[in-house]
């Protein structure tokens, strides 16, 4: 079977879906691997490293996709000026596509994938279960983003992060307030602590208090009126109106005292909760910084502009949308391991077998044999499939 690794076409994308290490593993498992020239260059992997790992280098996107049974990508197929076509048109009919496919936000893409009879797996739909942990690409990317958010904040702040004792006097450490202590939040806490800041963190799930404290930060506790309002699983449920108001009062005090706020609060499938109001921003000291990781899903700060850096009342507000791509070497390493783990789930000897009874396969597959995910869910019992060779 032939596995293709095209060069990503999105302008801001520097990651690659397979690094030489994963290519070597695929080659060892009997797959023929074709990598588009310069596909891994921005992530630190020249063509020669892929060749050494057992891949063939293709000179163009068209050559890379030609005859592929499986295509591994980071981002969803898109119209590309460089290629002069939509990437979907290059996908061989009946092939398997794995990547962050963004299907929920782009039904037209799903329709086109189904029309081309592509078996498409969306990495953003990997369930957050222990069995799927090694495939959990969203968590991998949140880890990278949480780390980078702390660096963006430190770089933008007009102060030091650590306590400094110098002959010219003592410098107090920066105060960092992290909102949402999930994957990205915990990494932002850990990185801010490593840089020497004094860190506080807030989350609606009291269960994370211990993790926050074990990283050397203080947990800011808010007691919802009804204990069951706070989610107990890996994700939080949305708070009631009343609790949001009470929460805002608590947050206001901590935001006003902070030099840096890193916000990562997220409720899956919904708009990000607004936790930082205009009034709160205006109560911060000039020179303070907000890094809003929830920018793409609407922002945790009401002033955030996705993909932009703005200033309001002397406060810099960053709304980054693809921080993982700014640490392309390690983001690609982690992502390619996640993709390989998903692929290994499908591998049987040297062919591919899809078991639609498996929760991971079922939840992640958005199109198969001309049907979309919803249609598949109803028909999954009759499924087996898939192309080999």
Smallest Cα–Cα separation from 4: which of 43, 34, 40, 36?
A: 34
Residues recorded for the chain: 389
From residue 188 to residue 227, the character string flagging contacts with ligand NAD as x (rule: CB under 6 A) and all else as - is --------------xxxx--x-------------------
Q: Which helix (H) or strand (E) holds 23?
A: helix 20-28
Does position 123 interact with ligand NAD (CB under 6 A)? The reply is: no
With CB under 6 A as the contact rule, the residue among 183, 195, 197, 255 that binds ligand NAD is 183
The reply on whether position 275 binds ligand NAD by CB under 6 A is yes
Contact between 330 and ligand NAD by CB under 6 A: the answer reads: no
Which string of DSSP letters, residue by residue, matches 100-132? E--GGG-HHHHHHHHHTT-EEEEGGG---SSTT
Among 110, 293, 360, 361, binds ligand NAD (CB under 6 A): 293
Which one-letter DSSP state was computed for residue 287? T
Q: Is 181 in the site for ligand NAD (CB under 6 A)?
A: yes
| Residue 273 touching ligand NAD (CB under 6 A) | yes
- Nearest Cα neighbor of 2 from 24, 22, 32 is 32
The angle at the Cα of 144, spanning 138 to 147, to the nearest 5 degrees, equals 135
Minimum distance, C-beta of residue 192 to ligand NAD, in the bound complex (Å)? 15
Q: Which residues pair with 164 in a beta bridge?
A: 171
Q: Strand, coil or helix: what is 79?
A: strand
- Binders in 297-326 for ligand NAD, by CB under 6 A: 297, 320-324
Let me know: does 270 contact 296? Beta carbons within 8 Å. Answer: no
Taking the complex as a whole, the smallest distance from the CB of residue 239 to ligand NAD amounts, in Å, to: 5
CA 190/CA 32 separation, integer angstroms: 40
Stretch that binds ligand NAD, among 46-54, 63-71, 173-181, 211-219 (CB under 6 A): 173-181
As measured in angstroms, the least distance from the Cβ of 197 to ligand NAD is 19
When the beta carbons of 104 and 370 are compared against ligand NAD, the nearer one is 104
For the CB of residue 20, give the shortest distance to ligand NAD in the complex, in Å. 25
Catalytic center residues = 128, 133, 136, 139, 235
Answer yes or no whether residue 62 interacts with ligand NAD by CB under 6 A: no
Task: Give the nearest distance from C-beta 175 to ligand NAD in angstroms.
Answer: 18
Residue 185 beta carbon to ligand NAD: minimum distance, rounded to whole angstroms: 6
- Rule CB under 6 A: say whether 265 interacts with ligand NAD: yes
> 30 CB contacts (<8 Å, ≥6 apart)?
1, 350
Using CB atoms, what's the residue nearest to ligand NAD?
Answer: 182
Tokens representing 39 are 């596909």
CB of 327 to ligand NAD, least distance (A): 10
Instruction: List the one residue from 5, 19, 72, 236 that touches ligand NAD (CB under 6 A).
Output: 236
Return the H-helix or E-strand segment holding 255: helix 241-257
Q: What is the DSSP letter of 253?
A: H
The answer to the question of residue 142 lying near ligand NAD (CB under 6 A) is yes
173 binds ligand NAD (CB under 6 A): no
Other Cβ atoms within 10 Å of 169 Cβ, number: 7
Q: Which residues pair with 166 in a beta bridge?
A: 169
The residue within the footprint of ligand NAD, chosen from 26, 176, 239, 345 (CB under 6 A), is: 239
8-state DSSP, 359: H
Q: If phi over 0 gives left and psi between -120 and 50 gives alpha, with beta otherwise, what is residue 216?
A: left
70 forms part of the interface with ligand NAD (CB under 6 A): no
- Number of Cβ within a 10 Å radius of residue 384: 9
Count of residues that interact with ligand NAD, criterion CB under 6 A: 37
Q: Which residues bind ligand NAD (CB under 6 A)?
A: 138-139, 141-142, 145, 179-185, 202-205, 208, 235-236, 239, 264-267, 272-273, 275, 293-297, 320-324
């Amino acid at each position: 079977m032939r596995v293709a690794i095209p060069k990503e076409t999105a302008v801001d994308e520097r990651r690659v879906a397979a690094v030489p290490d994963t290519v070597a593993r695929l080659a060892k498992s009997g797959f023929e691997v074709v990598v588009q020239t310069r596909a891994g260059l921005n992530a630190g992997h020249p063509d020669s490293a892929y060749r050494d790992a057992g891949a063939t280098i293709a000179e163009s996107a068209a050559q890379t996709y030609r005859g592929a049974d499986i295509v591994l990508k980071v981002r969803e197929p898109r119209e590309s000026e460089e290629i002069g076509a939509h990437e979907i048109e290059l996908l061989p009919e009946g092939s398997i596509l794995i990547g962050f496919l963004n299907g929920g936000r782009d039904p037209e893409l799903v329709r086109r994938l189904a029309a081309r009879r592509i078996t498409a797996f969306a990495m953003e739909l990997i369930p957050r279960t222990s069995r799927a942990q090694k495939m959990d690409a969203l968590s991998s990317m949140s880890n990278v983003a949480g780390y980078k958010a702390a660096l963006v904040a430190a770089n933008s702040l007009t102060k030091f992060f650590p306590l400094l004792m110098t002959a010219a006097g003592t410098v107090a450490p920066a105060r960092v307030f992290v909102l949402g202590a999930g994957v990205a939040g915990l990494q932002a806490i850990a990185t801010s602590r490593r840089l020497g800041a004094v860190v506080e963190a807030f989350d609606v799930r009291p269960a994370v208090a211990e993790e926050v404290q074990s990283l050397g930060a203080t947990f800011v506790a808010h007691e919802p009126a009804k204990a069951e309002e706070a989610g107990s699983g890996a994700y939080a449920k949305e708070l009631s109106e009343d609790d949001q108001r009470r929460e805002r009062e608590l947050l206001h005090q901590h935001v006003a005292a902070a030099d840096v706020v890193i916000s990562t609060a997220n409720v899956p499938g919904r708009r990000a909760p607004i936790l930082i109001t205009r009034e709160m921003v205006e109560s911060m000291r000039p020179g303070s910084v907000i890094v809003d990781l929830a920018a793409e899903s609407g922002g945790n700060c009401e002033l955030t502009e996705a993909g932009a850096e703005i200033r309001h009342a002397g406060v810099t507000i960053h709304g980054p949308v693809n921080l993982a791509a700014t640490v392309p070497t390690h983001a690609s390493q982690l992502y390619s391991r996640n993709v390989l783990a998903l692929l290994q789930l499908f591998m049987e000897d040297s062919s591919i077998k899809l078991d639609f009874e498996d929760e991971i396969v079922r939840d992640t597959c958005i199109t198969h044999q001309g049907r979309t995910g919803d249609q598949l869910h109803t028909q999954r019992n009759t499924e087996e499939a898939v192309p080999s060779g």
